[in-house]
Amino acid sequence: MKQSRSRRSVLYVPATNIKAMSKVAGLDCDAVIFDLEDSVAPQAKAEARQNLSGFFASNQAPRHQEWIIRINATPEGLDVADVGLVAACKPDAMLIPKLDNTDTLGDARDMLTAHTDAAVRLWGMIETPRAIVDLRPLAGFGSSAGIGLDCFVAGTNDLAKETGLPLPEGRKTIEHWLALLVLHARAFGIDVVDGVYNDFRDEEGFAAECRTGSLLGFDGKTLIHPAQIATANATFSPSQSAIDEAKAVVAAFALPENEGKGVISMNGRMVEILHLDMAQKTLRKAGLIDSQVRDQFHMK
């Protein structure tokens, strides 16, 4: 069974920004994407790889965050030097840009396996029209045991550029495609995080887009600035009322008189096993956020 992780807030950090990299361990985000791609100028790629090599070598202690490295793609395929760096650094995952075919997933796994036996998972950027069209084969192949695709990342800026839609005005159109992304991720047990909001000073706009992303079913949101972390964490966390309801459902099914039942009555309403599954999922997510909840109901 796939390990449940909280991915409410996923912060991009350019691998050229050593000062920002030095501060990530003290941030309250759930994951950090160290970027070798869009935020790094072509002439600075070698420097960025050197920065990451030194950073990971000096930061081997257990951490509360997932660390991911986003690599580059070339016309010939995935950047060989970037993949070699990932194999040496052994982050939690490698993020593939502009993922739009299953061959790229297979190549990524083969290249990593050739370098190392470390369990580096794969994440994939969904940021082209072809990727949206081919979500089913991508998700199906990626979720197979030999590939290990763990998470989709919506690349809303590139998707908007490729389709000629302005942001934030074009977000309403993109949401239709984002809903398809969430649906395919859920069908194949893959996590999925929303794209970035470009104006980190616009707190109201960012909060509104987080709420929309949460309603669409995303697990969290990618971020461009630490100031966005708290809002993302709050929006993509279970509310206290949802936690209380989930506790009540789990407790009701745990009563001796309800043992083995598929349907029970709780406060005058019918509650089914599927509601128990939903409640346990909510509490697992809350348990990752609040350690006091983690083992309260001895859930699997």
DSSP secondary structure of 5-56 = ---SEEEEEETT-HHHHHHGGGS--SEEEEESSTTS-GGGHHHHHHHHHHHH
Question: Strand 191-194 relative to strand 220-223: parallel, antiparallel, unpaired?
Answer: parallel
Domains of the chain: 9-235 (3.20.20.60), 240-294 (no CATH)
Strands (E), the chain: 9-14, 31-35, 66-70, 73-74, 77-78, 93-96, 121-126, 149-154, 191-194, 220-223, 263-266, 269-272
Question: φ and ψ at 69, to 5 degrees?
Answer: -115, 125
Whether 21 has a pLDDT exceeding 90, the answer reads yes
Rounded-to-integer distance, Cα 107 and Cα 121, Å:
13
Q: Please tell me which residue, 69 or 286, carries the higher pLDDT value.
A: 69
The predicted model gives 253-258 an average pLDDT of 90
Structure tokens at 138: 């991508």
φ, ψ of residue 34 in degrees (nearest 5): -80, 115
Q: Tell me 265's DSSP state.
A: E
Asked if residue 3 has pLDDT above 80, the reply is: no
pLDDT of residue 2: 52
Residues 64-77: pLDDT tens digits?
Answer: 899 999 999 999 99
Residues with Cβ < 8 Å from 67, sequence gap 6 or more? 31, 32, 34, 56, 91, 92
The whole-number average pLDDT for the span 182-206 is 97
How much is the pLDDT for 222?
98
Structure tokens at 198: 């470009």
Q: Tokens in use for 42? A: 């072509």
100 DSSP assignment: -
Q: What is the pLDDT of residues 129-141, one digit of tens each?
A: 999 999 999 999 9
The answer to pTM > 0.85 is yes
Model confidence at 78: pLDDT above 90: yes
